[in-house]
Amino acid sequence: MDSLIAQLMAVFKRMWRYRWPGLIAAWLVGIAAAIVVFVVPDRYEASARVYVDTQSILKPLMSGMAVLSNTEQQVNMLSRTLISRPNVEKLVRMADLDLKATSKSDQEALIERVTRNLSIQTAGNSANNLYLLSYRDSSPEISKKVVASLLSIFMESSLGASRKDSTTAAAFLNEQIKTYETKLEEAEARRKEFRLRNLQLTQADGKDAASRLAEASNQLEAARLQLREAMNARDAARLQIETERKRSQPGTSLQSLMQESSQKFATPELDNRIAELKRGLDQLQQRYTDQHPDIVNIKRQIRDLEEQRKKEVADLQKAALANPVPTGGPNDSLANQELARILAAKEVEVAQIRARVDEYGARYASAQGAIKLAPQLEAEFAQLNRDYDIIKKNYQEMVERRESASLSTDLDNTSGVADFRIIDPPRASPKPVAPNRLMLLAAGMVVALGAGLVTAFAASQIRPVFHDLNELRHRLELPILGAVSRQETPEDRRRVKVDLLRFGVASGSLVSLYAVGLIGMAIWISRQAG
């Protein structure tokens, strides 16, 4: 603490050495500040209060049918953005402020000055929609004219902005509706083309691919069964004819007939099942060993079917031997003709059923191909329907919003955006509201004293002088061997007193002049107010 006090005392001593330059700077700044305070022109303020009524009886009635804009928010935003460059330029032209601005630089300075002096504030609570418009100028007539022009722009801008928004919204909705109409037509065309390419997905019977495949499989199996039955009947007729022919020939023995009949009798159904099982057995044997349960089961089925085939052949042979046809009789030719006729009929029936089997086989193959493509086609059709539904929904919403926007525009045109009520018309104050010369004069005195102190401090730092041995030792970091003191004479002491008196009178005169000026200014202001 002692060292800090010592440093402050050293600084004060150095500043005291340059007190006269500081005092001169204080006088110069004080005189300049006083001149500025008294030269600054008076400024008058004009103001107007306007109330914006955003309530309308039609809006609650049309709620849910029309898009009701937030009028309060629009007016609030308009009040915040009203002081923009285009509006200020329009204001300058309306108030004839641009008559004196001849050059471009003068116009820019005028716009900046008007923008700086304009003010739009909410009077009281912002929810009351009460706005205060004010402007300050050196002329009360000009300030009043500017406020009146600003009030006109404020009222016109709200209506123009609302109409512009409605027009822009209607144009945007019409453009979007046309776009969605095109998209909707394209989506409908894609669905139509898909249905024409894939008629199996939209058949009238309402059956899916799996049902059609099952039906085709059942029909094919039934047709194959009928074909096997017809082939068995045909083979029996053919065997009967061959038997009758052998019997009619001499030297035909019963043993030879039995051998031939065993070769002629056939069981195509069992043969086909045995062949299918053998093919499956071959495939399994390529993958598994003979001890695999599936292979053992198939071998057992093959043995059972072969035994069943042998039994059926034996039954056919017994039936042929039990009904022998006598040979050499007069009715042999008639019997042969009847058998030939039966055989021909069976051949025709076999051909017909074989054609049916081929047709059902083609249908079954087509159904198999369809069921393989069915998931992909159904997925594509679902995607087309999804896109179509989305586009249709957006299109309908756009149409509804266009109707709502049209109704909202008609509502705004009927009821208006807001009702502007001028509470206080534009009026300029008869007395200047600025500048506050009393405060400015006090600030000028403070600035003058501060300028003197700063000048003395700067001079002491530029040409420093050491007044203490400790400070000298600390700065130079060298040992001090001794000090030579100066012996003051009575003349020196008298000169110091005279100098101190002069400094006191000069500095006191500056403060006194400012004090007198402040007192006189206060009296003058009070008289004007009275």
Last residue within a domain, chosen from 354, 373, 392: 373
CB neighbours of residue 104 within 10 Å: 8
Instruction: Name the residue among 376, 384, 379 with its Cα closest to residue 183.
Output: 384
Residue 162 lies in a domain: no
Answer yes or no: do 312 and 450 share one domain: no
Residue 64 lies in a domain: no
Q: Residue 314 has what pLDDT?
A: 76
Q: How far apart, in whole angstroms, are the C-alpha atoms of residue 360 and residue 6?
A: 122
Answer yes or no: do 454 and 359 share one domain: no
Q: Residue 57 has what pLDDT?
A: 45
Answer yes or no: do 359 and 503 share one domain: no
Answer yes or no: do 354 and 460 share one domain: no
Residue 76 lies in a domain: no
Give the neighbor-by-neighbor strand order of the sheet with 44-53: 118-122, 130-137, 44-53, 419-428
Give the count of domains, the chain: 2
Residue 468 lies in a domain: yes
Answer yes or no: do 365 and 468 share one domain: no
The residue written with tokens 């008869």 in the block is 430
Answer yes or no: do 365 and 479 share one domain: no
CB neighbours of residue 525 within 10 Å: 13
Answer yes or no: do 223 and 320 share one domain: yes
Answer yes or no: do 369 and 228 share one domain: yes
Q: Residue 59 has what pLDDT?
A: 52
Q: Residue 62 has what pLDDT?
A: 44
Distances (CA, A) of 45 to 118, 138, 180, 428, 527: 10, 9, 57, 6, 20
Residue 103 lies in a domain: no
Distances (CA, A) of 408 to 54, 62, 358, 395, 502: 15, 9, 71, 20, 84
Q: Residue 109 has what pLDDT?
A: 86
Q: How far apart, in whole angstroms, are the C-alpha atoms of residue 319 and residue 265?
A: 11
Answer yes or no: do 273 and 351 share one domain: yes
Q: Residue 32 has what pLDDT?
A: 92
Contact 76, 125 (CB under 8 A): no
Q: Residue 454 has what pLDDT?
A: 92
Residue 143 lies in a domain: no
| pTM of the predicted protein model | 0.41
Answer yes or no: do 337 and 441 share one domain: no
Last residue within a domain, chosen from 373, 401, 419: 373
Instruction: Name the residue among 350, 331, 148 with its Cα closest to residue 236.
Output: 350
Per-residue pLDDT of the chain (530 residues; tens, 9 = 90+): 666 777 777 778 778 888 899 999 999 999 999 898 888 888 888 888 888 766 554 455 445 544 445 445 555 666 666 778 888 888 888 888 877 777 888 888 888 888 888 888 876 655 567 888 888 888 888 888 888 888 888 777 655 555 555 667 778 878 888 888 888 888 888 888 887 777 655 444 445 666 777 887 888 888 888 888 888 888 887 887 777 777 665 544 444 444 444 444 556 677 777 877 787 777 777 777 888 777 888 888 888 888 887 887 777 667 656 655 444 444 556 766 777 778 788 788 888 888 888 888 887 777 776 666 666 777 787 888 888 889 888 888 888 877 777 766 665 555 454 567 788 888 888 777 777 888 888 898 999 999 999 998 898 888 877 666 676 677 777 777 767 777 778 887 888 888 889 988 988 898 899 899 888 888 887 776 65
Domain that holds residue 523: 1-40+435-530
Q: How far apart, in whole angstroms, are the C-alpha atoms of residue 388 and residue 240?
A: 70
Residue 238 lies in a domain: yes
Beta-bridged to residue 428, according to DSSP, are 46
Answer yes or no: do 363 and 439 share one domain: no
Asked if the bond preceding 435 is cis, omega within 30° of 0, the reply is yes
Answer yes or no: do 349 and 230 share one domain: yes
Q: Residue 450 has what pLDDT?
A: 92
Residue 9 lies in a domain: yes
Last residue within a domain, chosen from 324, 358, 373: 373
